[in-house]
Chain A
Amino acid sequence: MAARNRAKLPYLLVAPAVALLTLFVVAPGVYALVLSFQARKVVGGLLGGGSKLVFVGFDNYGLALADPELWASIVRMLLVALLFIPATVGFALLFALLLDVPRVRLARSTRLAIFLPYAVPGVIASLMWGFMYLPATSPIGGDHVDFFGSTTVFFSVANVAVWGSVGFNMIVIFTALRSLPAELYEAARIDGCSELRMALRIKVPLVLPAIAMCTLFTALASLQLFNEPNTLRPLSNAISSTWVPLMKIYEDAFVDSDVNKAAATSVLFVIAALAVSFVASRTVSRVNR
């Protein structure tokens, strides 16, 4: 009797997670899949005597893939990612290593200061940076530098994202550094190794798994880029309503009211994101080995 109850326990424990996953991920996912094979068609009359949903097979997928705006938005996302990923991981590693130096002062408050932007919601951060960029309100020279130029806008968007995510990644790497055995450092110091050499030759190789994980997180975050460009959009002509893939999906669904095409694009996007995660996590586990 007791043994049977114990056998049930694991199912009971995972039940809430499974229920939430089913309710908020699997069910909407299936719904999106169903929507992606349908389309709204009007019937009769100048304004349409009404509309009906019809099954259209893979038409929405064809439309989505043939839309040059989707491809342009992917290119723009990749350009931002090209700036965002190395800058985030690079700064996170740099700050973690600096904070790990034994003689560093005010380590605790500095760590908090670097982490704090992570606690600021993306929308608030984007609005704040938006005001910093705009010539009329800029305290950082927006009247001399055009932060919303055709090229600079990529840096401006990436900057907001980097600002918001360095802190979290720094903590991940810093924690990994702290879990390294202290004897290692002692031995290195006795051998006359400088702090810089120690950082490059000992610490970095040993926290490589953490760095790889941060890179994976950041890569996934860049796929989901939405808040920053969407919040900055009304401030400038430089950011279109379909600037990154998620904005394109949002535009299709809620502005052009074509939920079906948006669903098809979402499904394609999920497949692409899964592929990226799969390849990346394979790479990470290879690094870990």
Chain B
Amino acid sequence: MRSQWRLAGALLAGALLVTGCGGGGGDTAAAGGKVNLTFWDWDPNMDKVVDIWNQAHPDIHVTLSNPAGGDQLVSKMITAHQAGNGPDIAKVEYQSLPALVSNQVVADITQYTADTVKDFDDTTLKATRFDGKVFGVPQDVAPLMLFYRTDIFDQYGLKPPTTWDEFKQAAADLHAKAPQVAMTNFDAADPGWITGLMQQGGADWWSSTDNKTWQVAINSAASKKVADYWQGLVTAGTVAKNPSFSPQWNKQMNEGQIATWISGAWAPAQLGGIAPNTKGKWAVAPLPAWTAGDKTTGIWGGSATTVTTDSKHAAEAAQFASWLNTDGKALTAQIQNINVYPAATSGRSLPILSSPPAFFPNQANYYDLVKQVAPSARSFSMWGPDVTVTFSGYTDKFGAALQNNTSFATALDDIQNATVADMKKLGFTVG
């Protein structure tokens, strides 16, 4: 599919070249000093939030576009930057930000955000501020949680598991009673959830002690503990193993063939599109723990709003990024429509948080639960500068391991080697 778009883009570019057209994108300031900005974002319903801005700011118009989501958008941003026609503003997940900084796609907006950053705690800011420079305004934090189908749990007499041992037992019980229903889906397509589980398990894939040399520990003992646990469930056949966000998975989710989804706080808004028939049938619980009582969880996604180095209106773009993530109205609209859990400290006491997400009408305390687990979410020290290589390695190696029933631990070794080789090739110092 992408190649077709690429072809269409190439043809279009060629046509523009031939006819001598120039400009476009968000670079042009219209007559009367009006500034046009383009904004790449894949959040469902983000248009409603952008409308609020456009109505309040007649002189800075933001045009929303959704060319791709997640990792695919990162690739698109790098490519667009090389062609010199990136957007002004883009949503970037925390894990991809270092790669985009290192590729000089994302701009340093420290000078525009001196006041904005005061609204964020240090833990949150750590994800977007490197070496004292701010490269994005945090949008949301998304601690990993266990989303489960209350109807299925009731039907088969299951209780939300509090530890991974209980989860394994519940999966086995469910499999014995209803072989057609999988406890959850082990996904090799999206690396976000597994990195969250690795974080919970104590892994630290990237770190640096001297701010010069990288330590890469993707195949550490902590990672392998998590991998081995899931290999056990996959081998026992108690979890499904389809790529998530695929037609197959959507249908299984919608038809109740998957009982739980380990996901971020943004899940309710996504579930509406994935499994529309299941409205009101879900509830959320804290992620099962490795040792009873341990509250540590991981993170899946969570994003920042960034300004690109291609933008000719960095000040205005940064102004929008700040508004989007700290303004009460903007955050209320985002919580309501996108179900984000805001990164801004002020956003966490908004009145809207006392009402449940539209897809979870049965769970009034939804955001209270998110608020409780959010502080114990553990991330890696840093995300590496070439996560795209790591992540495509995950997709390929774990995909192959699921396909051929080979070892997850070996897959981790392969990913480690590919990541380190790529970093060295680029000229990073790896210790």
Q: Which residues of A contact B (CB under 8 A)?
A: 23-24, 39-43, 45-48, 50-51, 63, 121, 123, 127, 130-131, 134-137, 150, 226-227, 230-231, 234-238, 240-242, 250-251, 254-259
Contact = CB atoms under 8 A, between A and B. Distances in A.
Contacts of A131: 247
Contact of A250 (B3, B71, B214, B242): B3
Nearest to B79: A254
Interface string B56-91: 000000000000000100010011001000000000
Contacts of B396: 240-242
Contact of A136 (B212, B241, B248): B248
Q: What are the 9 A-B residue pairs with the smallest beta carbon separation, nearest first? A: A136-B251, A237-B399, A41-B427, A240-B396, A42-B427, A136-B248, A48-B102, A47-B102, A237-B403
A51 B388 contact: no
27 contacts: A42-B427, A45-B131, A50-B104, A51-B102, A51-B103, A134-B246, A135-B248, A137-B247, A150-B404, A226-B3, A230-B2, A236-B243, A237-B243, A237-B402, A238-B403, A240-B395, A241-B396, A250-B2, A251-B392, A255-B71, A255-B75, A256-B386, A256-B422, A257-B78, A257-B103, A257-B388, A258-B425
Given A136-B252, A234-B189, A237-B402, A254 B247 contact: no
A254 B75 contact: yes
A24 B427 contact: no
A34 to B, nearest CB: 14
Given A46-B214, A150-B404, A136 B399 contact: no
Contacts of B382: 46
A38 B186 CA distance: 40
B188 interface: yes
A146 to B, nearest CB: 10
Contacts of B242: 236-237
Nearest to B77: A257
B426 interface: yes
Contact of B4 (A43, A121, A238): A121
A18 B3 CA distance: 25
Interface string B216-254: 000000000000000000000000011101111001100
Contact of B388 (A39, A127, A236, A255): A255
Interface string B360-399: 0000000000000000000000100110110010011001
Interface in B236-279: 241-243, 245-248, 251-252
B242 to A, nearest CB: 8
Contact of A237 (B1, B104, B188, B208): B188
B246 A42 contact: no
Contacts of A123: 1, 3-4
A251 B389 CA distance: 9
A227 B3 contact: yes
Interface of B: 1-4, 14, 71, 75, 78-79, 82, 98, 101-104, 130-131, 188-189, 208, 211-212, 214, 241-243, 245-248, 251-252, 382, 385-386, 388-389, 392, 395-396, 399-400, 402-404, 422, 425-428
Nearest to A44: B212
A236 B79 CA distance: 26
A47 B385 contact: yes
Nearest to A137: B247
Nearest to A121: B4
Most chain B CB within a 10 A radius of its CB, from A150, A236, A237, A256: A237
A186 B284 CA distance: 80
Contacts of B389: 255-256
B14 A24 contact: yes
A39 B247 CA distance: 39
A134 B247 contact: yes
Contacts of A51: 102-104, 426-427
B212 A46 contact: yes
A42 B428 contact: yes
Contacts of A47: 98, 101-102, 130-131, 385
B426 A40 contact: yes
A241 B428 contact: no
B215 to A, nearest CB: 11
A136 B247 contact: yes
Given A123-B1, A234-B243, 15 more contacts: A39-B425, A42-B426, A48-B426, A51-B103, A130-B247, A150-B403, A230-B2, A237-B188, A237-B402, A237-B403, A240-B395, A254-B79, A255-B75, A256-B386, A257-B78
Most chain B CB within a 10 A radius of its CB, from A42, A135, A137: A42
B385 A48 contact: yes
A24 B2 CA distance: 20
Nearest to B403: A237
Nearest to A130: B247
Contacts of B212: 45-46
Nearest to A247: B3
B198 to A, nearest CB: 20
Contacts of A258: 422, 425
A135 B245 CA distance: 15
A240 B414 CA distance: 14
A127 to B, nearest CB: 8
A39 B422 CA distance: 12
Contact of B247 (A41, A235, A241): A235
A198 B388 CA distance: 60
Contacts of A237: 188-189, 241-243, 399-400, 402-403
Contacts of B189: 234, 237
A256 B75 CA distance: 8
A256 to B, nearest CB: 5
Contacts of B245: 234
A235 B242 CA distance: 8
B360 to A, nearest CB: 25
A236 B247 CA distance: 10
A254 B400 CA distance: 22
A23 B304 CA distance: 40
Given A226-B3, A254-B75, A42 B102 contact: yes
Contacts of B102: 42, 47-48, 51
A234 B403 contact: no
Nearest to B104: A50
B355 to A, nearest CB: 34
Contacts of B14: 23-24
A254 B3 CA distance: 11
A170 to B, nearest CB: 25
